[in-house]
Structure 1
C-alpha cells in the first residue's frame, strides 16, 4: 500500500523497506548520514558491522569498523567528506575517511567526567541524575565542525553541556547546567552549525531548540514546541529537518523555527537520526509497525 506523508512542497513517498540488508547482517541503526556522492551511511549498533554503506537505491556497498565501538550514537560528514562518529559509551568522537581509516579521536576512552551521575549508569535516563555540569565527556551525543575547524560537542546523557574544542583538539570552554531555564539543558542531544553562524542545540527533554553564538551566548529559543527534538539536518535552502524522539513525530521548520510540515505517530516514538541527499529525499532512523527495532526509512520528495 502506497504511503504519502507531508504537505505542499514537503510531500513524500514513504519506503520503509528501502535498505537491502545482506543476510547475516543485523541492522540496528542509531544514526544516518549521506556523503557528497549520495551514499547513505548507517551507524549501526552491531559489533561486527557498525558502519553500513548503501547507494541511493538501498543496495548494500560495504561495511567497516568491526570491534571499534561500544555504543554508536551519531554520525555526520564534515566539509571534506570525512566521517565523524560519536560513541556514547566510549566517551569519544572519532574521525574517519569514508572507507574506514581512523584519522583522529577526541576524548579519553572510558573516562567519564564528574556530574553527579554514578559511573555505572549508562542508561537512557542517566540525564535525570545530573546535578551539575562537568567537563568533557559523560555519555556524549553529537558533534559539529565549523568552517575554521573548531568543534562543538553536545554532552547530554550524563552531562548538560556543550563543549568547544579548537581545530587542533584542545578543549577551550564549555557551557550549560541541568535545568529548564534559558541556556540550561536537560539532555542536549543534537547540534548543527547554520549559515547564519549560529549553533542549533536540540534540548531534547526540555522540548525545545536553543540557538547560541559560537561563544556560547544564547541568542533565541525557537517558538515552536518540538516534543523531544533529537537531531538536525539542514539543507542548502536552510530548511531544517527534525525527528521528535519523544512523540514519534517528524517536523520540517525554517531557521527561525516556524513549522512547515509535520507527520508521524506514537508507533515511531524513539525516532532518532536524519539526513538528506542531493535530490531532497530524506532518510530517517525510526521504529514502526514491524516492531521496536529501528530501520532507515527513505522519504522520497514528490
Structure 2
C-alpha cells in the first residue's frame, strides 16, 4: 500500500532520532516499576484520523464495553467481543462475539450463554477465535440468574461459532492446569502452542498477599498443560497483571505488565529477555507481520502514571523505538481510573494499516484510526 509523504524529511528524521534516544534511555531504567525514572512520551506526531463509533451490532443494539478486538486471517474483517451492551454478558442472551466487514457491518455472531466477560481475543492461523473470559459472575448476577455458565475460562471457537476447546474450569477459580484466575488474554503461537495470562485484579494490589498473583501459562496445541511462569511483584520477570499478550516475528512474547506500567519480553519458555517502559501503562498490544508494535493506553492519569497521557504509541518491536503518538479523544467522562479523555483497551490493525480499538467504561464501542500522513518508508502491511 502506497502512502503519501506529507511529513518533511527533516521532521521525520527528527522524530525517529528523538524516539530512538528516548527508547534507549528508558530501557535502562532500574528499580521498582512504580518508581522508574522514565521521561513521558506525549508529543510525537499523530498521522492518523480518529473515527469514533465505528461498526454496528446485530439488530442495531448498542455497544457495551469492548476490550477484545483482533483482525481476521483475511486481514480485512475484524472480530470483537462486546460485553452485551453493558459491561457483562451474565444476564444477557445476545451474541457477544461479532465479526465485522470493512464497512463495520456484522457478518457473523455467536457466543450467547457461553461467555461472561470477554476480555482478550486471538484469531489463530487457522482462523479459529479464542476468547479469554476474565471473571466469574458476581453475587448479584448469580442471584438473578443461578444458571449462568462461564467465567475464568479460555474458549476456542471455530469461525462459525462451534466450541472446539475449553481451557480452565468454567465458573471456578484456581490454578493451572485445570483452572484459571481472571485470565486476561490468550495468544496462539504459529506452531499452535497456547499462552494464557492471569490475573486482572493484580494490578490494583500494592502489597503481596494470598490473592496477589500474576502468571503466564503455556499449553500444547491439544490443550495439554506445559508450564507456568511469573509471580506477583515489581522486579524483572515479576508482574502485576499481564493484561495483554503479543508475539513478534522472532517468537518473543510481549506482555503488557499494566500494573507496573511497562512491557516485559519473554521467550516461549518463560525466560525474561527485556523490560521496556517507553510505551506507557498499556492495556492492549498488537504486533504486525513487520514487527510494528501498537500499544494502547486507556488508563494513564496523575495517580496511576504521572506525566503520561492516555493514547496509543506506535513503534518498533525490534528496537523499542517509539515513532508516533495518537492522543486520547475527548469524552464527557474519562476512561480508566480518571485523568482526561478516553482511549480504548483492545487494539488490532488490518492489512491496510487501519487501527481498530475497543473502548471500555463510559465511552464503549469501537474506534477506527485511519492512516493519513504516514511516510512512504513506514513498514508496509
Q: Report the TM range for the smaller structure's normalisation.
A: 0.7 to 0.9
CA shift for structure 1 position 225: 4.8
Query: 2:52 — aligned with what?
Result: 16
Q: Distance in 1 between matches of 2:58 and 2:190?
A: 37
CA shift for structure 1 position 165: 1.1
User: Larger radius of gyration, structure 1 or 2?
Assistant: 2
Query: 2:170 — aligned with what?
Result: 109
Q: Distance in 1 between matches of 2:278 and 2:268?
A: 23
Q: Distance in 1 between matches of 2:259 and 2:61?
A: 33
Query: 2:181 — aligned with what?
Result: 138
Q: Distance in 2 between matches of 1:201 and 1:30?
A: 16
Q: Distance in 2 between matches of 1:150 and 1:244?
A: 28
8 Å CA contact retained: 2:128, 2:156: yes
Determine if the alignment matches structure 1 residue 295 to structure 2 residue 295: no
CA shift for structure 1 position 21: 3.8
Matches of residues 240-259 of structure 1 in structure 2 within 5 Å?
240-247=293-300, 248-255=310-317, 256-259=319-322
Runs of 5+ unmatched residues, structure 2: 1-42, 85-91, 136-150, 202-212, 301-309, 329-339, 373-381
Query: 2:262 — aligned with what?
Result: 208
8 Å CA contact retained: 1:210, 1:222: yes
Instruction: Flag the 1:7–1:61 CA change in 2: closer, same or farther, 3 A.
Output: farther
Q: Secondary structure at the match of 2:273?
A: strand
Determine if the alignment matches structure 1 residue 87 to structure 2 residue 161: no
Runs of 5+ unmatched residues, structure 1: 1-5, 115-132
Partner deviation per Cα, 1:188-236 (whole Å, 9 max, x = no partner): 1111121112111110010000001111111111141512x11211112
Q: Distance in 1 between matches of 2:355 and 2:47?
A: 11
Tell me the TM-score normalized by structure 1: 0.84
Aligned Cα root-mean-square deviation (Å): 2.2
Q: Which runs of 4+ in 1 moved over 3 A?
A: 20-24, 133-136
Instruction: Flag the 1:225–1:243 CA change in 2: closer, same or farther, 3 A.
Output: closer
Tell me the TM-score normalized by structure 2: 0.67
Q: Distance in 1 between matches of 2:366 and 2:83?
A: 13
Question: Among residues 253, 278, 300, which one is paired with 1:199 in the alignment?
Answer: 253
Q: Secondary structure at the match of 2:104?
A: coil
8 Å CA contact retained: 1:72, 1:87: yes
Query: 2:285 — aligned with what?
Result: 232
Query: 1:178 — aligned with what?
Result: 232
Q: Distance in 2 between matches of 1:24 and 1:279?
A: 27
Query: 2:32 — aligned with what?
Result: none
8 Å CA contact retained: 1:22, 1:60: yes
CA shift for structure 1 position 169: 1.1
Q: Distance in 2 between matches of 1:293 and 1:134?
A: 36
Instruction: Flag the 1:148–1:298 CA change in 2: closer, same or farther, 3 A.
Output: same
Instruction: Flag the 1:134–1:264 CA change in 2: closer, same or farther, 3 A.
Output: farther
CA shift for structure 1 position 134: 10
Give the number of the structure whose residues are more often helix, by fraction. 2
Query: 1:30 — aligned with what?
Result: 67
Q: Distance in 1 between matches of 2:52 and 2:119?
A: 21
